[in-house]
């Protein structure tokens, strides 16, 4: 470094698009970069106020500015000067103070709040209203579309669907059970359709438009037909209250919002998550209680012992723990013990009960997927 040796570079004043050829010197004595434009007064940029324009593609060059005049630029091409200047101007890489940090935090909170408000308040409220006025044919179409999605989502093969079980004797037994449980005066605008899917999961759920779906695992796990009838009655209770329609509309609204947040990247995962949510549908406590009450009333009308509902929950909980399939579905509600007790109490009041299916029919139902 030879004190203040002069060199030349292009200078831009940030006011006009003129490229001025200026003389500059790195003056170690005064701690400044002096810039002398032709026919104008010299400028002295203090080393500690120099800032470089970062991420330059051209190596060994330096585009430098000063905090006092942030629009000005000096484009130094001489490699020796650049390597001389770098150690002197210590804050060359210092970033400008961050502006508007609190505004970013405000909008971040706003974005989180908006998504929560939409997914957990606005969409559910609107879904409840819309589910009430959706015409029955629309509900049925919604249910069929959803069943198809569930069948393909649960399939292990790349392109397949989880098959539905359709052994004729089994279907007859299922149909008889449905007639017994559903009774005459269901007041539903569409027939209840019961489907069994050939899948190990121990679960049953209702879909919009009168669809009740059992997994084979559920039938395998039940000890007697009354338990299956009890679950069927419970799910028909959800159908009558249009609970699944609400959930399906809700997920349609939430899906778009979550897709927006996570992008296509994780979009597939979000779809799976929501289908899972539909299967494990967590209805409100009131909705569960109403479905239980509905089920007990129906079972009683059909001379089936309502205690079967409680017995089945108990068996499943003992056998499979609190986490899997139907156990999770039902045990997610803290009042499970009360519900078992209520079902048993309703059973105890009844005099004559008879099994919903005879032994032959029950065997046929258990073989529905064979």
Interface residue list for other proteins (CB under 8 A): 10, 12-19, 53-59, 63, 71-73, 75, 98-101, 103-104, 107-108, 110-111, 114-115, 118-119, 122-123, 126-127, 130, 133-135, 137-142, 145, 249-250, 252-257, 259-261, 263-264
Q: How far is the CB of 296 from other proteins (least distance, A)?
A: 32
Q: How far is the CB of 275 from other proteins (least distance, A)?
A: 14
Instruction: Pick between residue 83 and residue 129 the one whose CB is nearest to other proteins.
Output: 129
Q: How far is the CB of 20 from other proteins (least distance, A)?
A: 9
Instruction: Pick between residue 7 and residue 353 the one whose CB is nearest to other proteins.
Output: 7
Q: How far is the CB of 62 from other proteins (least distance, A)?
A: 11
Q: How far is the CB of 351 from other proteins (least distance, A)?
A: 46
Instruction: Pick between residue 143 and residue 225 the one whose CB is nearest to other proteins.
Output: 143
Compute the residue count for the chain.
370
58 contacts 81 by C-beta, under 8 angstroms: no
Query: CA 45 to CA 9: how far, in whole Å?
Result: 15
> Can you name the residues that pair with 9 across neighbouring β-strands?
22
* Nearest residue to 280 (alpha-carbon basis) of 314, 210, 331, 209: 331
Instruction: Pick between residue 97 and residue 168 the one whose CB is nearest to other proteins.
Output: 97
> Can you name the residues that pair with 164 across neighbouring β-strands?
197
Q: Between vectors from CA 157 to CA 154 and to CA 160, what angle results, nearest 5°?
A: 75
Q: How far is the CB of 132 from other proteins (least distance, A)?
A: 11
Query: CA 281 to CA 244: how far, in whole Å?
Result: 8
* Nearest residue to 213 (alpha-carbon basis) of 112, 281, 311: 281
Tally Cβ neighbours within 10 Å of residue 92.
17
Instruction: Pick between residue 114 and residue 341 the one whose CB is nearest to other proteins.
Output: 114
Query: CA 136 to CA 242: how far, in whole Å?
Result: 10
* Nearest residue to 295 (alpha-carbon basis) of 238, 334, 337: 238
Instruction: Pick between residue 106 and residue 284 the one whose CB is nearest to other proteins.
Output: 106
172 contacts 357 by C-beta, under 8 angstroms: no
């Amino acid at each position: 470094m030879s004190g203040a040796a002069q060199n030349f570079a292009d200078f831009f004043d940030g006011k006009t698009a003129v490229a001025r050829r200026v003389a500059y010197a790195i003056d170690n004595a005064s701690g400044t970069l002096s810039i002398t434009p032709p026919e104008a007064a010299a400028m002295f940029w203090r080393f500690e106020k120099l800032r470089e324009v970062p991420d330059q593609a051209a190596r060994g060059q330096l585009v430098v500015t000063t905090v006092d005049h942030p629009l000005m630029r000096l484009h130094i091409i001489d490699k020796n000067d650049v390597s001389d200047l770098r150690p002197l101007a210590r804050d060359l890489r210092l970033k400008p103070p961050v502006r508007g940090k609190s505004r970013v935090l405000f909008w971040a909170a706003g974005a989180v709040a908006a998504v929560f408000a939409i997914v957990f308040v606005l969409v559910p409220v609107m879904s409840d209203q819309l589910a009430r006025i959706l015409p029955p044919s629309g509900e049925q179409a919604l249910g069929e579309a959803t069943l198809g999605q569930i069948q393909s989502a649960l399939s292990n093969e790349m392109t397949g669907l989880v098959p539905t079980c359709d052994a004729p004797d089994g279907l007859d037994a299922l149909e008889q059970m449905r007639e017994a449980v559903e009774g005459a005066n269901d007041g539903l605008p569409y027939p209840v359709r019961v489907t069994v899917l050939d899948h190990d999961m121990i679960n049953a759920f209702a879909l919009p438009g009168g669809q009740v779906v059992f997994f084979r695992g559920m039938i395998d796990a039940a000890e007697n037909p009354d338990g299956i009838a009890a679950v069927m009655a419970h799910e028909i209770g959800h159908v009558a209250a249009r609970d699944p329609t609400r959930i399906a509309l809700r997920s349609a609204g939430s899906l778009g919002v979550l897709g927006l947040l996570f992008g296509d990247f994780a979009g597939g995962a979000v779809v799976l998550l929501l289908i899972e949510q539909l299967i494990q549908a967590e209805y409100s406590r009131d909705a569960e209680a109403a479905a239980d009450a509905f089920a007990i009333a129906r079972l009683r009308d059909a001379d089936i012992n309502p205690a079967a509902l409680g017995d089945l929950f108990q068996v499943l909980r003992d056998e499979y723990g609190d986490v899997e399939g139907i156990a999770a579905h039902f045990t997610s509600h803290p009042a499970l013990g009360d519900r078992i007790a209520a079902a048993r109490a309703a059973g105890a009041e009844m005099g004559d009960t008879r099994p919903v299916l005879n032994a032959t029919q029950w065997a046929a139902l258990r073989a529905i997927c064979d």
